[in-house]
Structure 1
């Protein structure tokens, strides 16, 4: 677990600056994609940031968590909104495992594995 997200995103930003210098076309493309994806449309910016934070949690990306937490504060997300989103992260973090476990058992049975007794 990260102790200080402010320092972490500062360090990542400094390292990203090196990449902007060394591979400018890639970084410009990434930044253009980020701006296009973040632009308000059918979903507002705060909703998009809540989604981005959920994906950050799911991917276990500490710098992403830091950047999106900062953006959520700037966009006025409430603690209740963030906590509800995090509740979904907890649920979905466990749910996919359950779904894949059920599918894995079905595949085992499909290929001739022992079936459950009735």
Structure 2
């Protein structure tokens, strides 16, 4: 099971055990996604960087996949991740491992 699949299992678990929290979370994130003039691709690239900054391997997998689906290239996704490294230093550098794994899953 890859990391994106593990994230899906985690979301299912949350939805089954605290559905009211899960629904409110989805409502909040959908509302935020509708705001502003950024493209879906740009929003997902930002979320890739935020995922690296948060050191969340499941978030990285989800947002690398979503960025690619929104039209981001492998190089654009990697550049977004590297911007997080520039801001976060060596702890963030270690999380590039998960970016590379997610990119390899998608782009080979």
Q: TM-score, normalised by structure 1?
A: 0.66
CA pair 93-27 structure 1, distance change in 2 beyond 3 A: same
Tell me the equivalent position of 2:85.
90
The structure in which a higher percent of residues are helix is 2
Q: Following TM superposition, by how much is the alpha carbon of 1:17 offset from its aligned partner in structure 2, in angstroms?
A: 1.2
CA pair 8-54 structure 1, distance change in 2 beyond 3 A: same
- Aligned: 1:28 with 2:23: yes
> Tell me, which stretches of 5 or more residues in structure 1 are unaligned?
1-5, 95-118
Contact 1:39 1:45 in 2 (8 A): no
| Aligned-residue CA RMSD (Å) | 1.7
Q: Following TM superposition, by how much is the alpha carbon of 1:45 offset from its aligned partner in structure 2, in angstroms?
A: 1.0
- Aligned: 1:47 with 2:42: yes
Q: Following TM superposition, by how much is the alpha carbon of 1:66 offset from its aligned partner in structure 2, in angstroms?
A: 0.3
- Which structure exhibits the higher relative contact order, with contacts defined as CA atoms closer than 8 Å and separated by 6 or more residues? 2
Tell me the equivalent position of 2:52.
57
What CA distance in whole angstroms lies between the structure 2 residues aligned with 1:9 and 1:87? 20
Name which one, 1 or 2, has greater alpha-carbon Rg.
Answer: 1
Alignment size in residue pairs: 89
What CA distance in whole angstroms lies between the structure 2 residues aligned with 1:75 and 1:69? 10
What CA distance in whole angstroms lies between the structure 1 residues aligned with 2:60 and 2:16? 25
